[in-house]
Amino acid sequence: MSGAPDPLLQIKSLVAGYGQVEVLHGIDIDIAPRSITALIGANGAGKTTLMRALAGLSPARAGSVRFEGREITDSPAHARVDGGIVLVPEGRMVFTLLTVEQNLRLGGIAPRARVGIDARMETVFEKFPRLRERRRQLAGSMSGGEQQMLAIGRGLMARPQVILLDEPSLGLAPIMVKQLFATIDGLRRDGFTVLLAEQNSRRALEIADYAYVVKNGRIELAGSGAELSRSENVRRAFLGH
């Protein structure tokens, strides 16, 4: 990424896993500010483990994570949220027995997010008009696509700088997938930095400024979204030709 601005989020030689199992074996990634960086790879490649490690939910065993030039490798998850790193998890994980509005307010619970919470909710409703319509509806009664809107909206309520999106299109109908990727593209235009872990490799590479192929807990390939779309190895493995 020569000539690129200094990374907003920088991962060096990161090792992480669960219990006795090491999943990530020395990951190196640079994430530029106000960009979309995509992680593509098969199930079990380590994408979700990486996202959890960056969110502070899976401790690093070695290596470093730096945010805005500061070391945050050992920072707890709540401190990362309050610092501006927010995970929108795989499976959406909305609070099904709470209303849309209650879910959104919980997204703004971190100290940095409490100022201006009502104005921020209005901004979320402008971005996702369906959530305004359903603001008093229980989240569990909504469709998968609506729940994904809510999960992203809840993340935005935390005033993030970096949004970690883990498999956001999983289980969504094709029309919702199209809307979702338009929304993610819009996040970059709004000034957010996005790290996108996604099995829909074609869509992810179409909108990515830069992308990494994760295989068996290691970075296999890296390049711009356009470069990886043209790579024969990537096309055969992930794009179906």
pLDDT of residue 240: 54
pLDDT of 239 strictly over 90: no
Q: In this structure, what token pair is assigned to residue 18?
A: 């669960």
The parent domain of residue 138 ranges over 34-52+77-238
pLDDT of 241 strictly over 70: no
Contact 226, 239 (CB under 8 A): no
Distance between CA atoms of 128 and 123, rounded to whole angstroms?
A: 9
Other beta carbons less than 10 A from residue 101's beta carbon: 17
**CATH number for position 144:** 3.40.50.300
pLDDT of 203 strictly over 80: yes
pLDDT band at 4 (very low <50, low <70, confident <90, very high): low
Q: Cα separations (Å) of 139 from 4, 103, 150, 217, 227?
A: 40, 8, 8, 34, 39
The model's pLDDT over 24-52, given as tens digits with 9 standing for 90+, comes to: 999 999 999 999 999 999 889 999 999 99
**Number of structural domains found in the chain:** 1
pLDDT band at 233 (very low <50, low <70, confident <90, very high): confident
Helix (H, G, I), strand (E, B) or coil at 144: helix
Distance between CA atoms of 95 and 115, rounded to whole angstroms?
A: 23
The model's pLDDT over 217-231, given as tens digits with 9 standing for 90+, comes to: 999 999 999 999 988
Q: Are strands 193-197 and 9-18 parallel, antiparallel or unpaired?
A: unpaired
pTM, two decimals, is: 0.92
Q: In this structure, what token pair is assigned to residue 239?
A: 């794009």
pLDDT of residue 102: 97
* Domain membership flag for residue 68: no
* Domain membership flag for residue 212: yes
pLDDT of residue 205: 96
**Mean pLDDT of the 105-123 span:** 93
* Domain membership flag for residue 220: yes
Distance between CA atoms of 82 and 78, rounded to whole angstroms?
A: 6
Q: In this structure, what token pair is assigned to residue 137?
A: 């509806």
Distance between CA atoms of 239 and 38, rounded to whole angstroms?
A: 15
* Domain membership flag for residue 62: no
